[in-house]
């Protein structure tokens, strides 16, 4: 099937969204356990204790704890507004930030960062001029000291839809910033997979949000396959993706190909497939790639292909480079929960 399809459905009783491009699943979102704070949620938190020597602080949330990296000078008992920045590693406090973002499909309101900006992907100069006029008019409704960013989706959106988005986010920001409370409380829930797909994914050629969408497009089997470490590559090669407590280990195998270029071909295929595999499996943190054997002269070409594959990845990933043992390392932001933690096992919770 050619084109882009978005399917909104459920997996094992959890909301889920899948993005299919030319028949391949390139992104997957599954609702996490309901007792976990969602990234993007905004809380009124209370400072609990500073982390001496680290410049951070532990905050109290309703029923949990958050870690604020820039917490220097915050006294215990101080209430402050924070936004959840990702998921925590097991046994650790969830990361949070005081830099709030009120994000919708077309606009982002940025308290504390005034100014009007447009996404760099908006390249049509005539449209940029029109969008600046819309932003300037709608921006008059922003809270004091807040800024506005118009996102790439605004390029083809109706002017009224953009203005409505700006007004909605400006009103929400004003309500949150005026919050008078002092006890820990959830103020704005983070988006679920259906909302995130609408907000962040590009306009599809086909949208299927009817009951049974995942079953209709054969996505249940594809998602179940992601719970297995093996991911097939062209020509019989394969990836073995195995998360551990410390890191995610990725092993590249050439399969039945015994030609001199088998290792290079498998590594190039792995570089192209890896971003989507990590996204769909919800894996982040330290990633160690054990590549198939290839000459050192081919390493630079491999890095270029991997970097190009990651350029369109919405999850921030840094290339750390080669280790003395020949592994290639990545550092990936943990803004998703592993798929195995999102899907409850039959008869129980994950």
| Dihedral angle sign, alpha carbons of residues 31, 58, 81, 144 | negative
Same domain, 236 and 210: no
Q: Residue 4: what pLDDT?
A: 95
* pLDDT at position 348 over 60: no
250 and 172 share one domain? no
Q: 123 in a domain, yes or no?
A: yes
- Asked if residue 137 has pLDDT above 90, the reply is no
Question: 131: number of CA atoms within 13 Å, CB side?
Answer: 28
Which residue range forms the structural domain that includes residue 109?
102-181
pLDDT exceeds cutoff 90 at 25:
yes
Q: Are residues 153 and 82 in the same domain?
A: no
Please compute the mean of the pLDDT values over residues 255-267 and round it to a whole number.
93
Q: Which residues, 6 or more positions from 236, have their beta carbon under 8 angstroms from its beta carbon? A: 254, 255, 256, 257
Q: Structure pTM?
A: 0.90
Q: Are residues 120 and 73 in the same domain?
A: no
> Considering the domain boundaries, does residue 191 fall inside one?
no
Mean pLDDT in residue range 59-85: 91
Average pLDDT over residues 256-283: 95
314's CB contacts (< 8 A; 6+ apart) are 200, 279
Instruction: Kindly report, residue by residue over 333-343, the tens digit of the pLDDT.
Output: 988 999 999 99
Res 53 pLDDT > 80: no
Are 310 and 240 contained in the same domain? yes
Per residue in 204-252, pLDDT tens?
Answer: 999 999 999 999 999 999 999 999 999 999 889 999 999 998 999 999 9
Instruction: Determine what percent of the chain is predicted with pLDDT higher than 70.
Output: 98
Give yes or no: residues 307 and 252 share one domain.
Answer: yes
Give me the pLDDT at residue 345, please: 67
* 261 shares a domain with 169: no
Mean pLDDT of the chain: 93
Residues 6+ apart with CB under 8 A from 326: 291
- List pLDDT tens digits, range 90-132: 788 999 999 999 999 999 999 999 999 999 988 889 999 999 9
User: In the structure, what pLDDT confidence band is assigned to residue 346 with cuts at 50, 70 and 90?
Assistant: low
Q: pLDDT higher for 35 or 229?
A: 229
Domain of 281, CATH number, reads 3.40.630
Q: Residue 214 has what pLDDT?
A: 96
Q: Cβ neighbours of residue 288 under 8 Å, at least 6 residues apart?
A: 247, 248, 249, 250, 323, 327, 328, 329
The CA distance from 262 to 245, in Å, is: 31
Tell whether 128 is covered by a domain: yes
- Is position 350 within any domain? no
User: In total, how many domains does the chain have?
Assistant: 4
Closest CA relative to residue 337, chosen from 20, 15, 26, 38: 38
Q: What is the pLDDT confidence band of residue 71, given thresholds at 50, 70 and 90?
A: confident
Same-domain status, 145 and 83: no
């Amino acid at each position: 099937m050619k084109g882009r399809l978005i399917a909104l459905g459920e997996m094992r009783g959890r909301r889920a969204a899948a993005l299919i491009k030319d028949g391949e699943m390139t992104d997957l979102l599954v609702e996490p356990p309901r007792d976990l704070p969602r990234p993007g949620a905004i809380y009124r938190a209370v400072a609990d204790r500073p982390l001496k020597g680290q410049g951070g602080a532990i905050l109290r949330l309703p029923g949990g704890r958050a870690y604020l990296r820039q917490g220097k000078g915050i006294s215990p008992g101080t209430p402050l507004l924070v936004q959840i920045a990702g998921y925590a590693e097991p046994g650790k406090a969830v990361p949070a930030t005081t830099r709030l973002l009120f994000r919708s499909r077309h606009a982002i309101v940025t308290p504390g960062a005034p100014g009007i900006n447009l996404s760099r992907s908006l390249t049509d100069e005539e449209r940029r001029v029109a969008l600046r006029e819309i932003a300037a008019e709608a921006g008059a409704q922003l809270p004091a000291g807040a800024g506005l960013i118009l996102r790439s989706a605004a390029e083809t959106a109706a002017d009224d839809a953009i203005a409505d988005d700006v007004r909605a986010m400006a009103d929400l920001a004003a309500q949150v910033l005026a919050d008078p409370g002092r006890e820990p409380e959830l103020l704005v829930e983070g988006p679920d997979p259906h909302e995130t797909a609408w907000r962040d994914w590009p306009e599809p050629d086909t949208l299927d949000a009817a009951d049974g969408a995942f079953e209709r497009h054969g996505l249940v089997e594809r998602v179940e396959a992601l719970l297995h470490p093996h991911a097939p590559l062209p020509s019989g090669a394969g990836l073995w993706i195995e998360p551990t407590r410390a890191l995610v280990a990725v092993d590249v195998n050439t399969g039945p190909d015994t030609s001199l270029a088998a290792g290079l071909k498998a590594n190039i295929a792995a570089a192209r497939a890896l971003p989507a595999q990590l996204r769909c499996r919800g894996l982040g943190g330290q990633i160690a790639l054990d590549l198939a054997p290839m000459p050192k002269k081919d390493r630079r070409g491999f890095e270029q292909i991997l970097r190009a594959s990651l350029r369109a990845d919405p999850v921030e990933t840094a290339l750390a480079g080669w280790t003395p043992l020949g592994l290639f390392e990545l550092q990936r932001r943990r803004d998703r929960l592993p798929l195995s933690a999102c899907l409850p096992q039959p008869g129980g919770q994950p």
